[in-house]
Amino acid sequence: MHGGGQMNLRACALGVRTPRLDGDLRAFLPEARPWALILFREACETRAQVLALTNDLRAAIGADVLVFVDQEGGRVARMRPPDWPLWPAAAAYGAVHHDDPVLGLASARLGYRLIAHELKSLGVNGDFAPVLDVPVSGADPIIGDRALARSPETIAALGRAVLDGLNAGGVAGCVKHAPGHGRATADSHLRLPRVNDGLNELGADLMPFRALADAEMAMTAHIVFDAIDSEAPATHSAKVIRDVIRGEIGFDGLLASDDLDMKALEGPLRARAERSFAAGCDLVLQCSGAVADMAAVCEGVPMLAGKARARAERVEAIARKPAEPFDAAEGWWRFRALMGPGYGPPTR
């Protein structure tokens, strides 16, 4: 399934919101050939079911595509108790780090190593984490405790630990939401946020992304940064992507749009996809789970080629790597000692 079949994939990741592959999706996927799939809460019922689903999805496409999930911990977790362990929100690692930086970094790496262990066993090899956004007082609570800390330097250090934990488990990470969502005064799922602060203020927001500029993958923010481009959100702004994400931050990994379905964006789905690529995204995400929406987006999505293809191969190499040896039972024992007894697999 590797090799030639991998080369001819479309530059998109499509959301799956059904626990089993229905006839419409099964018929659509081999024609669409997305580079990756994304599992949502509705697609995750039990371990055996998720493993069967990921196998089924790859068989339908006829390629060993990547399967991603948003498993940050806390309120952004597609796999939840009682079928899966409970992980803390990212801010909990910042709280430990505040009291003891060494233990804070150890806890973050271990927490996401445990997430990677869980995901890898289910055929899931990508996680949309860590969040590198720097929270600002008065901003919309959509980021809130999804932020690792409040200080850019601490976020950068903890973000590196998160990526290390995921990668050690053979899971690719994705830093988000470049160039920073922490100042947004609106939830981009619902409407388009605008940030009026100048470049001096934005410097702190960029710092964690700059520190992790070597990350394998990043996700854009659907936010208008007036000081850089008052006409278009970052996802659709060549100026933000070229000058800030690729330029100031120095990120040269695979750049994915945030979900094209979010209400921050305007226009038909195909046009949203086309604008993302024109601005400089390598990949778009479409997450509704509806085949009609997927088809509309795919009309505006090229096959992965050139520099984007090379960037995608780096993500694939991490995601296909066997996990390093790891004793999960011992890992959970250590994690509870660091973070408290309430976390981990449910006691049976």
Cβ of 41: how many Cβ atoms within 10 Å?
Answer: 13
CA dihedral 53, 58, 60, 61 (to 10 degrees): 150
Strand (E) or helix (H) holding 77: strand 76-77
- HEC sequence for 187-216: CCCCCCCEECCCHHHHHHHHHHHHHCCCCC
Bridge partners of 303, per DSSP, are: 10
The catalytic residue among 258, 259, 261, 282 is 258
Name the pairing type of β-strands 126-127 and 194-195: unpaired
> Cα–Cα distance between 162 and 318 in angstroms, integer?
14
Phi-psi region for residue 177, left (φ > 0), alpha (ψ -120 to 50) or beta? Answer: beta
The catalytic residue among 189, 214, 226, 327 is 189
Q: How many CA atoms lie within 13 A of 275 on its CB side?
A: 19
Catalytic-residue membership of 177: no
Catalytic-residue membership of 2: no
Residues serving a catalytic function are: 189, 258
